[in-house]
Structure 1
Amino acid sequence: MLFDWAAQPFFTVVTTFVFGPYFVARLTEDPVAAQAMWSNMATVSSIVIALLSPVLGAIADQSGPRKPWIACFAVVKIASLAMLWFAAPGSALVWPVTFMILASIAAEFSIVFNDSMMPRLVPASEVGRVSNTAWGLGYLGGMVVLIFVVGFLAADPKTGVTILGMAPLFGLDPALGEDARITGPLAAGWYLLFILPMFFFTPDAKRGEPMKKAVLSGVRELSATLSELVTRRKTILRFLIARMLYQDGVNGLLILGGAFAAGMFGWATLEIGLFGILINVVAIFSCLAAGHLDRLSGSKTVVILSLVLLLIATLGIISTAPGYILFGLVPLSPVDTGGVFATSAEKVYLLFGALIGMAFGPVQASSRSYLSRSVHPDEAGRYFGIYALSGRATSFMATLSFSLVTYASGSARLGMAMLILFLLAGLVLLIGTRYPAVERPEER
């Protein structure tokens, strides 16, 4: 569980709510081009993750221990995040994009190995509860870091003080984006500190084959697993395809949602941070509730309900603009009342953000428990590698669709609308998929 606590601040304060919006709104003077560049970063990362995750998972099953892999990727992630400090306004975009790609790849590969440990550690009856609780603990960790950033580091560039009315700690200058740039080193240090309990106290798999032999065996095992999915385990294949589609939409919301708000409303680090705190508070309690619902009604029920909420939220987000909601059917007062979230449209956007907070944790945690209940511990590495593939194989399509539509139309709103297609397609396919995804004897 502490692995999720350690890993989440990268996604919360760097990718989604602070550094990502800073990259879009303040690193350059062209927010539309910056949004597309940020989307391209996610596309490249997703392609690499999709290609290599199944291979690494299969190798892990043959070599045995997962911790050495997690340690290697931790070094890459921590070093890359530390380098984000140098992404000052006006600097070339290529370097922060490169370090974000490396950090994203290392983070996702670490998750593959962490997730594949779970079937050995947790009884099948408790997988859903533990997975959702861990995910909620991750959001709590992300929120703690986000609150620290908003309260003590992020200042209004005009006044130079934080929301608590104090000067930023460490003498950070918001005019130079230092309050956003510090999130890279901060997330790196948090990750380094809190992954240590997993290394010290969590049992690992026994050592298997030597690495060279494990690589060859792993590649062969992966090929056999893919063949097995097509011929004998079609229910798991159907689930993985459904998850591939709806996870594309989820990834798109996580990567682009904060940047979209920053571009539309001109939100700075303070507003984005408060928005992120709202979402994370809702996410923590929704994950705890979803853990109990998962145990009572199953992972499939949780995933379906979450997808419905995400569809409503995404439709609401793209239909909202300064002055109206629902594509203009409902006008809103454009008057700026002062302070944060000063317009009616911004307040409505917060409500849709709360819906995302209710859904995007449980949809991922219960998807993880869905698969964990469907495979044997000895095959968890290769199947969670393919699971990572299903979450990333076409995730570049969501961000690529956003980029292409945004470039062609000049409207990030139309780009965000593409996410609805992925969420809806995954939901439709999942509804017809048996749970758990275990073949009946007569179907083998």
Structure 2
Amino acid sequence: MVEEKRASRRGIWGWMLFDWAQQPFHTLIITFVFAPYFAAAVAPDAARGQELWGYATGIGGLLIALSSPVLGAIADASGPRKPWIAIFSIIGVVGCWMLWFAVPGMDNITFVLIAIAVAVFGMEFAAVFNNAMMPTLVPRSELGRLSGSAWGLGYIGGLITLILVLGFLSASPETGRTLLGFEPLFGLDPAMREGDRASGPLTAIWYVVFALPMFLFTPDIARKPSVTGAVRKGLSELGRTLRRLPGERSYFGFLMSSMFYRDALNALYAFGGIYAAGVLGWSIIQIGIFGILANITGALGGWLGGRADQRYGPKVVVSWSIVILAFCCLLVISTTQTEVLFVSVAAAAGQSGLPDIVFYTAGALIGAAGGAIQAASRTLLVDQVDREKVTEAFGLYALSGKATTFIGPLSIAFATAFFASEAFGLSPQDAQRLGVTPIIVLFAIGLALLPLVKSRHKETVAA
């Protein structure tokens, strides 16, 4: 039976290692090392850095939104996913490598912004096609565990690279020492922040090495007998699906809900480190410790979320994860060097360690809930369609997610610029705080749409 089709153990591990290969991009570049470095040392100030980072990552997402319908249609009509993964992997690797040239205080940062957008475009698109391979590897009853285990493995990969950067490459400009007390390897200059900049080339090398098992061992969809007219045929099929989609309440509801909560989660990841640097005055080392904690809990969240998915169903996991993430976002916004939940805990910055503790706690919860929701979302999507339509579904999942990837970053960029204007007279730190409030709104919309979605978990258990 088709339902029982299963890839080899080596093929499954090759697919899972793709998450391991790609997670450092999110951990080192988007969240914990390069993004806060960019805001603190490359951009004119932290608030302006948050704004520019939002534009760069938002434009990368917008490029994906504009191109994903056509490229997804061609891929569906032609068959194999690996050629597309290879093309976008090259683009992402080149973008990451270019980040090395982002020196502190550089006059023209346009090159860096372009590199960021290119890296986002390539890495995110490669993941889109890799995710589309998942339903062909194991039966439906095992998808939750497979997805959760892959996300957990990915977080461990991100954790290891973060420890490598903080422990051996990235040093404090003041002390010249890394988190572990060593001088940076390879003679990296702390004053020029070469350890932070090295996160770009390290991400590129790590990705190339560990994505190889997927290319070598994971089975791909067979090439269609004829690809003549693939563009026309694929777009025609996509058009029919889109016209029918509004009538499929659960499927349409899931795509709409996930569109908002995934955008909120991506924005939360992207701006967490920048926020900590600008509002709490954290160093890269402190942000790195925050990242290590979030990656540990993320691995646990992905693994436990996969088991909870298998037992209770993916919809339950997604719902609770959204609630936890929205609460954490509120906790983050309400925390400064002198306040927790908008209540003053110190007269001056540095007099109380409670804000730092609260922020570390929020980071741990964000890591755990983020790992669980991303793993369960892949399974919940499979529940919305028949097996023969699941590849098309992942294409629409990519389209719905990437079509709005720019909303989170750009809304934060616009909100930050709005509150930083002279009309409000706010400090850069307060403008930064208010600038990330759109994330809570996006989570709330995603949660409000989730009741429309049905899961096949009970059917699978009964079978």
Is the 2:88–2:122 Cα contact (8 Å) retained in structure 1? yes
Is 1:126–2:136 an aligned residue pair?
Answer: no
CA drift at 1:53: 2.1
Is the 1:325–1:345 Cα contact (8 Å) retained in structure 2? yes
Work out which of the residue numbers 422, 430, 436 in structure 1 matches 2:450: 430
1:346-365 equivalent positions in 2, closer than 5 A = 346-365=356-375
**Partner in structure 2 of residue 222 of structure 1:** 238
Work out which of the residue numbers 265, 270, 280 in structure 1 matches 2:295: 280
Q: Report the CA distance shift for 1:333/1:293 in structure 2 as closer, same or farther (over 3 A).
A: farther
Q: Report the CA distance shift for 1:211/1:254 in structure 2 as closer, same or farther (over 3 A).
A: farther
Work out which of the residue numbers 145, 158, 174 in structure 2 matches 1:158: 174
CA RMSD of aligned residues (A): 1.7
Residue 298 of structure 2 aligns to which amino acid in structure 1? A
Is the 1:62–1:209 Cα contact (8 Å) retained in structure 2? no
**Partner in structure 2 of residue 198 of structure 1:** 214
CA drift at 1:334: 4.5
Aligned mates of 1:73, 1:261 — CA distance in 2: 31
Aligned mates of 2:300, 2:382 — CA distance in 1: 23
CA drift at 1:217: 1.3
Of 141-150 and 222-231, deviating more is 222-231
Deviation per CA, 1:299-350, whole angstroms, max 9, x where unpaired? 000001101110110000000111111112x52475637xxxx833112111
Residue 60 of structure 1 aligns to which amino acid in structure 2? A
Residue 395 of structure 1 aligns to which amino acid in structure 2? T
Of 147-156 and 205-214, deviating more is 205-214
Work out which of the residue numbers 53, 59, 67 in structure 2 matches 1:44: 59
Work out which of the residue numbers 252, 263, 278 in structure 1 matches 2:267: 252
Aligned mates of 1:85, 1:366 — CA distance in 2: 35
Aligned mates of 2:61, 2:380 — CA distance in 1: 22
CA drift at 1:234: 2.6
Deviation per CA, 1:77-129, whole angstroms, max 9, x where unpaired? 11121111111112221111111111111111111111111111121001111
Is the 1:235–1:437 Cα contact (8 Å) retained in structure 2? no
Q: Report the CA distance shift for 1:333/1:289 in structure 2 as closer, same or farther (over 3 A).
A: farther
Deviation per CA, 1:275-300, whole angstroms, max 9, x where unpaired? 10000001111111111100001000
CA drift at 1:382: 2.4
Aligned mates of 2:365, 2:123 — CA distance in 1: 26
Tell me which of the two structures has the higher relative contact order, counting C-alpha pairs closer than 8 angstroms and 6 or more residues apart.
Answer: 1
Q: Report the CA distance shift for 1:436/1:59 in structure 2 as closer, same or farther (over 3 A).
A: farther
Give the structure-1-normalised TM-score. 0.94
Identity across matched positions, percent? 45
CA drift at 1:37: 0.3
Work out which of the residue numbers 357, 366, 385 in structure 1 matches 2:376: 366
Aligned mates of 2:388, 2:78 — CA distance in 1: 12
Aligned mates of 1:145, 1:82 — CA distance in 2: 16
Residue 203 of structure 1 aligns to which amino acid in structure 2? P
Deviation per CA, 1:356-396, whole angstroms, max 9, x where unpaired? 01111111111111112333444333221211122222232
1:303-318 equivalent positions in 2, closer than 5 A = 303-318=318-333
Work out which of the residue numbers 326, 331, 336 in structure 1 matches 2:345: 331
1:169-208 equivalent positions in 2, closer than 5 A = 169-208=185-224
Is the 2:250–2:384 Cα contact (8 Å) retained in structure 1? no
Gaps of 5+ in 2: 1-15, 421-430, 459-463
**Partner in structure 1 of residue 277 of structure 2:** 262
Q: Report the CA distance shift for 1:112/1:378 in structure 2 as closer, same or farther (over 3 A).
A: farther
CA drift at 1:209: 5.1
